A and B are shown apart, each in its own frame.
Chain A
Amino acid sequence: MIQVLLFAHLREQVGQDELAIPENQMTVAELRTLMVHQYALHIQDVMVAVNEAYAVDTDVIYDGDTVALIPPVSGG
């Protein structure tokens, strides 16, 4: 299972702060596609972090990993 954390407007749109994806292995690109199709999220500008490090679309996510969808940040 892959845990997906949601923040800011994505969290509000889905109505929960995390999702459990029943997959053993998928690429970041595949996860993006899933989020778009299953949750109708607009994630073009969203960065993906796997286990607290920014990842690229070809990186592979495994069972037990924690993924975060990170919309453009606005700290400071």
Chain B
Amino acid sequence: MFEIVTAPISIGKVIEEVGHRNAGAIVTFIGTVREMTGDKKTIYLAYEAYEPMARAMLAEIGQQIKKQWPGTITAIVHRIGRLDIGEAAVVIAVSSPHRQDAYAANRYAIERIKKLVPIWKKEHWAHGETWIGNQQESVSYTNKDI
């Protein structure tokens, strides 16, 4: 399961997707919408994606994980559109026979997403809006940049 969706993500379904008899561990990462960044208050986030490429890249990340950590199964769902505080933007579930691989593979998946998968978020603050420019969230595109 590698999907880009607009409706709320069913976390349970993502987890079910990777569970099986020989799994000894399932690690789940849930990226959620944070209200406060420093002293700035977020009202909501708007995500957009280059959908076909983003979906293909999520599947590719799954393939890379399978190669690097044999025996793991990965599922990734990213939501786009408007997301309110506390909602899940991304859910990554990885199962493996032993927990170490599931932890490592899950971490790898989120780092790859933040670096490479064509998805963008726009912060809607109490007083304005900003496209967030990189995975460290240290660069933003304000009017002076564009």
| A35 on interface, CB distance cutoff 8 Å | no
Task: Across the interface, name the chain A residue whose C-beta is closest to B121.
Answer: A74
Task: Across the interface, name the chain A residue whose C-beta is closest to B78.
Answer: A75
User: How far does the alpha carbon of A7 sit from the alpha carbon of B52 in the complex, in Å?
Assistant: 13
B contact residues around A75 at 8 Å (CB): 47, 49, 54, 78, 89-90, 113-114, 117-121
Interface string of B6-33 (1 = CB under 8 A from A): 0000000000000000000000000100
| A5 on interface, CB distance cutoff 8 Å | yes
| A34 on interface, CB distance cutoff 8 Å | no
Docked complex: B73-116 residues within 8 A CB-CB of A: 78, 89-90, 110, 113-116
| B131 on interface, CB distance cutoff 8 Å | yes
Q: Are A68 and B134 CB-contacts (below 8 A) given A52-B53, A75-B78, A76-B110?
A: no
Task: Across the interface, name the chain A residue whose C-beta is closest to B142.
Answer: A9
> Taking each of B47, B113, B133, which has the highest tally of chain A beta carbons within 10 Å of its own beta carbon?
B133
Minimum C-beta distance from B126 to chain A (A):
20
Docked complex: A7-32 residues within 8 A CB-CB of B: 7-9, 12-13
User: How far does the alpha carbon of A8 sit from the alpha carbon of B133 in the complex, in Å?
Assistant: 9
A contact residues around B3 at 8 Å (CB): none
A contact residues around B133 at 8 Å (CB): 45, 71-72, 74
Contact present for B118 and A74 (CB under 8 Å): no
Interface string of B116-146 (1 = CB under 8 A from A): 1111111000000001111101010100011
User: How far does the alpha carbon of A68 sit from the alpha carbon of B54 in the complex, in Å?
Assistant: 12
Minimum C-beta distance from A14 to chain B (A):
10
A contact residues around B146 at 8 Å (CB): 9, 13, 42
User: How far does the alpha carbon of A71 sit from the alpha carbon of B53 in the complex, in Å?
Assistant: 14
Contact present for B48 and A73 (CB under 8 Å): no
Contact present for B141 and A49 (CB under 8 Å): no
User: How far does the alpha carbon of A5 sit from the alpha carbon of B49 in the complex, in Å?
Assistant: 11
> Taking each of B49, B122, B132, which has the highest tally of chain A beta carbons within 10 Å of its own beta carbon?
B132
Query: A7-B48, A76-B31 given. 7 additional CB < 8 A pairs?
Result: A7-B120, A8-B141, A9-B131, A49-B118, A73-B120, A74-B133, A75-B113
